Amino acid sequence: MQSTAKFALAGSLLLFPALASLGKPSIETYAITDTGVALRWGAFEPKGGGQHPAILVLHAGGFKTGVGGPQHVAEELSRAGFFALATEYRLAPPHNEMNSPEHPPPAQNTVSPVDDGHYPEQTNDIRTAIRTARHDPRCNGLVYCIGGSAGASHAVYMAGRGKPGDDQPDLIVCMSGPYDFANKKHLETPCEPMETCFWDSLLNYLDIPDFANHRAELEEASPLTYVNANFPPAFILVAQNDASQLRVSTSRGYCRGSTRSG
């Protein structure tokens, strides 16, 4: 069943509707963090009701920007039969989208002290979202994740660290994500104008001043650290010239773990 769902999920992404046809999701609070921030998702339910695999749509944004979604992806996935959840998570500074008035209070800037959204808060939020979705009466017990960039990184992190049937997604689809935070090659990669600077975003996300003296923190937060033989089925898209990515399917011999069908 998971193998069939994987190809249905990947295929549905080729059929994005025009943004003008975007439906209105049900905006729901899926959790309140221990700092008091309300976390929300936009729920898109398939027609006809019933229980379906839930899928968390995790946004990009360099760990510091972005809103739940993209919603048009979640809407299209719901048309393909998934209980799709355009999921927000806390952001590193300046986390504008998670501040009031863009994000209704309690937001990251309205709790005291201000919630800065550094690691591991973001992955904690994804963990909570997976658990909440799995026990939602609209879900059939299966939870998938699809993400781009930072969202992809969070999906791989939870796929490696999570416990099957609990906080590990049953399947992931990842696009252009950073997975190897401790790779020294990142320091050799110049930042491009008008593009997210990987090392700048990562230092901000981890709240560390440099790479050279903080390898332990980099390895702890790195999704690659937790890739193992029990990794769930994964569909990972890698852009040829994106230096922030790691080819998980060929790293450390875990090709089986990243491509097997369930």
Q: Is residue 255 part of a domain?
A: no
Q: Is residue 260 part of a domain?
A: no
Contacts of 214 (CB under 8 A, 6+ apart): 206, 208
Task: Please check whether residue 108 is in contact with residue 97, taking contact to mean a CB–CB distance below 8 angstroms.
Answer: no
User: How many domains does the structure of the chain reveal?
Assistant: 1
Supply the pLDDT for residue 260: 29
Instruction: Specify the DSSP element, H or E, that contains 72.
Output: helix 71-79
Q: Cis link prior to 104 (omega < 30° from 0)? A: no
Per-residue pLDDT reduced to its tens digit, 214-229: 999 999 999 999 999 9
CATH number of the domain where residue 58 is located? 3.40.50.1820
Residue linked to tokens 């996300």: 205
Which phi and psi (to 5°) does residue 129 adopt? -65, -40
Q: Is residue 48 part of a domain?
A: yes
Residue 168 pLDDT greater than 90, yes or no: yes
Per-residue pLDDT reduced to its tens digit, 11-51: 444 433 333 355 689 999 999 999 999 999 999 999 999 99
Residue 196 pLDDT greater than 80, yes or no: no
- Give the domain extent around 104: 2-14+26-250
Q: Is residue 10 part of a domain?
A: yes
Q: Is residue 201 part of a domain?
A: yes
